Amino acid sequence: MVMTDLLVVENGIVERVLNAHRIALGSDFEGYRNHIYRVASFFNQLGPASFESTPALAVAAAFHDLGIWVHNTFDYLAPSSRLAANFLEAEGLAGIDPALVHELIVQHHKVRRYKSGPCAALVDQWRKADLVDVSLGLFCFNIPRSQVRQIQQCLPDKGFHKGLLKLTLRQLARAPWDPLPMMKW
């Protein structure tokens, strides 16, 4: 059973960012929203850090894939990071490290473990949490599969993975030599 204190279903920063980009997200709004909260919940399951303990995580979570919709690109890490940096500057959120937000976003599709810098463990925990969701639980690290399924049931897909598959196939047709430009080794 998923412990309710580890399940993330709402966050003020995430909601503010998503509502500001509701038009760009269009019919993918709920799917992306639930993806964010599934990743945040998987992050909590992976521990030791918790999603709520680091405000930079909420900003990174809201923006980590947003460049797909706002900039209409599948090479979205840099555009997503720029959107987050602009948000941090505009909002003047004291205490949130823009460099950490940048690393959380641009490293979240790193294939291998992230080991650079003082926040390496946090960034790598975020990377793993995203992989749990993107892989539909195929990679679950130390999270019991029953908990992965419960989080998926609490925060339904709403077409998110189907949309990712469509984007991947479109990218493959456009650039077969670079089908997953967001992946980092």
The residue behind tokens 């639980």 is 137
pLDDT in tens, 54-113: 999 999 999 999 999 999 998 999 999 999 999 999 998 878 999 999 999 999 999 899
Q: Residue 180's pLDDT is what?
A: 75
DSSP code at position 48: S
Distance CA 106, CA 80 (A): 8
Mean pLDDT to the nearest integer, 116-123 = 92
At 140-164, the pLDDT tens digits run: 999 999 999 999 999 999 999 899 8
The model carries a pTM of 0.93
Q: How would residue 2 be classed by pLDDT, with cut points 50, 70 and 90?
A: very low
- The pLDDT score that the predictor gives to residue 85 is 96
In this prediction, residue 154 carries a pLDDT of 97
3-state SS class at 184: strand
Per-domain residue ranges of the chain: 12-174
- Rounded mean pLDDT of 172-176? 85
Residue 29's SS3 state is: helix
